[in-house]
Amino acid sequence: MAIGPVPWLGPLLLVSLWGSSAPASLLRRLGEHIQRFQESSGLGLSLDPGRVALPKEGWLEQPLDPFNASDRRSFLQRYWVNDQHWTSQDGPVFLHLGGEGSLGPGSVMRGHPATLAPVWGALVIGLEHRFYGLSIPAEGLDVAQLRFLSSRHALADVVSARVALSRLFNVSFSSPWLCFGGSYAGSLAAWARLKFPHLIFASVASSAPVRAILDFSEYNDVVSRSLMNTAIGGSLECRAAASAAFAEVERRLRAGGSAQAALRAELGACGSLGRAADQAELLGALQALVGGAVQYDGQAGAPLSVRQLCGLLLGDRDNCSSPAPYRGLRRAVQVVTHSLGQKCLSFSRAETVAQLKVTETQVAGVGDRQWLYQTCTEFGYYVTCEVPGCPFSQLPALPSQLELCEQVFGFSASSIAQAVSQTNSYYGGQTPGATQVLFVNGDIDPWHVLSITQPLGPSESALLIPNASHCLDMAPERPSDSPSLRLARQNIFQQLQTWLGPAKKSQVRGGV
């Protein structure tokens, strides 16, 4: 049932800027920062109250445990609605799924759903993921509660939301529902069609890492290749400079004393670097900074592009006070931390663990603890650099990343490996067998290697966009967009035309 608005918990969203700076967390910060930037700039241009309706915020009462009918506990799940293009009750519904963070009004005002909605007269709905943003159960984030956080629970929410929202908005029985999502939410969009083809008519899954993996060394393989990609401002010299910068950081860490103290100040490490675990935190954050420049290359709001990062790493070589690559890396740290509003690039391992153990929603950030839980219990995705040829530090190694799951939640390394295997068995990994799903990826996005980049059959489509970064196809259109990106968006439109043309004629049936 629909519930009235609840008070806005502003501080909850601000805490994330000062939360844990573990490598995965820094990548999440970058993604959140870019999303907020694009939504605020896009909404500022388009939401003129005089000429367009503002999106509506609503709340659904959802079962906490949808797999146990005797458990009557519930939580409030937030959703957004844009009905300005909805022309008839039997028109399609475009459902934008939220992922591992807050979902705002931009989810129904920009990106594929909002851009394509006018053509088909679609109702656009954005559904925030359980346990993220403001859709967090009142009881908090202890392990007993987090048992109800998983992709399977999120998919059950999609089903119950479809039923409730169909009734609430008087959506026709014959209206086709299409799911859209990017990154983890892109996987959810694909899996929603896979598991509930009678309810979800089709899906567009952008940058969707559908294969779970424990040791994600391939991430840095793509980062390394992208740093050499001349089309986006990379070069062999840039990759060599990145490697040299990391080697200099490790040299100073080994030197200890004043060299280590200066390093701590110059690279924004909060706490001592005397412990190996704290050094690994710093080196992991630096890897995430470089990886983030590749992952979000060319996107509005991204602090650094590959071209800018390479410009810093290959900067003034005449200054002999310190090696040019290291100076460039220092400057890159300053640019990113300033953009994200962070006082530090990395914290001590002990502080990271302490912050991740906090279970009160008011101080737990917008998703660090929750997403760590999902990596420990479903996906892995631990980025490493231990294979030959990786240009960065071998720290943090996989064991230390798995240890975080044990320190925070008490999970063993073997249980995590088993969970990753079960996820792939349940969803099918990179051969899910879902029909009427379009997978969209960019070939410089490190996550594309876990997605589907080639068509698997006549109804299992895929687009691989040259020189495109993570979820770039979902970003607002810009004059600077490449011809290949524009073509990809045209192909997405044509795919929907293929699906929805017949759907309109046959009035595809879907049970509610």
Residues labelled as active-site residues: 183, 445, 470
Q: What is the dihedral of CA 137, 374, 99, 25, to 10 degrees?
A: 100
Strands (E), 154-311: 177-182, 202-206, 213-215
Contact 25, 353 (CB under 8 A): no
Contact 360, 9 (CB under 8 A): no
β 202-206/93-97 pair status: unpaired
Element (H, E) at 95: strand 93-97
Determine whether 118 is exposed, middle or buried from the number of CB atoms within 10 Å of its CB (0-12, 13-18, 19+).
exposed
Q: Which two tokens stand for residue 254?
A: 């080994």
Region class of 301: left (phi > 0), else alpha (psi between -120 and 50), else beta: left
In DSSP terms, which residues pair with 180 in a beta bridge? 96, 204
Element (H, E) at 244: helix 236-255
Contact 369, 408 (CB under 8 A): yes
| 186-190, Cβ contacts within 8 angstroms, sequence gap of 24 or more | 186/439, 186/451, 186/471, 187/151, 187/427, 188/97, 188/99, 188/129, 188/151, 188/154, 188/155, 188/158, 189/97, 189/437, 190/432, 190/434, 190/437, 190/439
Which one, of 127, 113, 295, lies nearest residue 204 by Cα?
113
Number of other residues whose CB lies within 10 A of the CB of residue 145: 18
Contacts of residue 179, Cβ cutoff 8 Å, sequence gap at least 6: 95, 97, 158, 188, 189, 192, 193, 200, 202, 203, 204
Query: What Å distances lie between residue 90 and 196, 233, 279, 436, 476, CA to CA?
Result: 20, 48, 58, 20, 28
β 213-215/202-206 pair status: unpaired
Contact 130, 157 (CB under 8 A): yes
3-state secondary structure of 382: strand
Contact 123, 81 (CB under 8 A): yes
Q: CA-to-CA distance for 467 and 198, rounded, in angstroms?
A: 36
Q: What is the DSSP letter of 201?
A: -
